[in-house]
Amino acid sequence: MSIIPCEKNEAFELKIREFAETLKTEAHRLGSNGLDENDVYNSGLFRGAIERIRGQFAASMNEKRQFVDRVLGYMQDQGYVQTYESSGSTNRHDYTLKLHSGKTAVIELKGCLDGNNTNIFQRPAHAEEFIIWSVCANRGADPRRNVWSGLHTRLSATIIAEEKRVDGLVVWDWVCGTIGRSCPKLTASDRRTTVAQYRLPPPCIYVFPSTIPTPRNNANPRAQPLVVKIKRKSPKRRESYQSLAPLAEGSKRLILSTSSR
């Protein structure tokens, strides 16, 4: 079984490569910069434009935060959480949620999980639940390689070696279920949820150990429960007592331990 059900669309990846080649060979035909073909490629104009675009995509969190804001706002409107708020730029984490149980859940946003930034996190002292949320906007990324890398070589190693407890991981963004990243959860029926401008498939959710794994004394720790309690208030409205519960439908469950391979 793959670590994540979705996969990269190889045909779409080929289109990306073909389009990139077209850009490299036809860039001099774009715009009205007043330069001839030789100057476009040799003056640094083309390379500078590419690096500028690349930097803008890499540095900007606006699109990611907009997506997460929409999802958390939807959860609040539907009664799944009491409140949520952005934690601000002075904090390492990104969002703080107040659950109906009275618990405080904290979310830290990450990218595609394949980089060193995945290892850099700090569970705040007030967090009763600490969730990492992977938002990978790179349509050409390989989710199976990235999630495997993030879980097995980065997050799990940091949890064990540095004794940092993480309660769960959410892998979910607006690319899920699109042509660039097909989702098998949608093959049998349309299980999308409309959140603002997004039409989203069920997320992938991974629950982590409720205690720090250690090879000698705690090799097979019990995993965090995905759902503690759900109380039905009406046919169309439910109240959840754990932050992962509202996202749980159709998701995967992974229990990490020091004895797993």
| pLDDT tens profile 39-82 | 888 888 888 888 888 777 665 567 888 999 999 999 999 998 99
Q: Two tokens at 45?
A: 């104009």
DSSP state for residue 9 in the 8-state scheme: -
Cα 141 from Cα 83, distance rounded (Å): 33
* Structure-model confidence comparison of residues 195 and 31, the more confident one: 195
Q: Residue 110 carries which side chain, given as an amino acid letter?
A: K
- pLDDT exceeding 70 applies to what percent of the chain? 83
Which pLDDT score, from 0 to 100, does residue 194 have? 93
**86 CB-near residues (< 8 Å, 6+ apart):** 65, 69, 94, 95
What is the enclosing helix (H) or strand (E) of 62? helix 62-77
* Structure-model confidence comparison of residues 136 and 17, the more confident one: 136
Cα 24 from Cα 38, distance rounded (Å): 13
Mean pLDDT of all residues in the chain?
82
| Residue 248 pLDDT greater than 50, yes or no | no
Which pLDDT score, from 0 to 100, does residue 241 have? 40
Cα 245 from Cα 228, distance rounded (Å): 8
Backbone angles phi, psi at 7, to 5 degrees: -150, 160
Q: How many CB atoms lie within 10 A of CB 3?
A: 19
Beta partners for 198? 195
Which pLDDT score, from 0 to 100, does residue 57 have? 67
Indicate left, alpha or beta for 79 from its phi (over 0: left) and psi (-120 to 50: alpha): left
Reported for 47-52, long-range contacts at CB under 8 A and 24+ positions apart, including other chains, are none
Nearest to 119 by CA among 64, 161, 174: 161
Which pLDDT score, from 0 to 100, does residue 47 have? 84
Per-residue pLDDT band at 215 (split at 50, 70, 90) = confident
Cα 245 from Cα 230, distance rounded (Å): 8
Cα 237 from Cα 234, distance rounded (Å): 5
* Structure-model confidence comparison of residues 16 and 107, the more confident one: 107
Q: Two tokens at 34?
A: 């007043």
DSSP track, 108-142: EEESSS-SGGGG-----TT-SEEEEEE----TTS-
Q: Please compute the mean of the pLDDT values over residues 127-150 and round it to a whole number.
A: 91
Per-residue pLDDT band at 261 (split at 50, 70, 90) = very low
Per-residue pLDDT band at 242 (split at 50, 70, 90) = very low
Give tens-digit pLDDT for 74-94: 999 999 899 999 988 778 899
Cα 178 from Cα 10, distance rounded (Å): 13
| Residue 116 pLDDT greater than 80, yes or no | yes
| Residue 169 pLDDT greater than 90, yes or no | yes
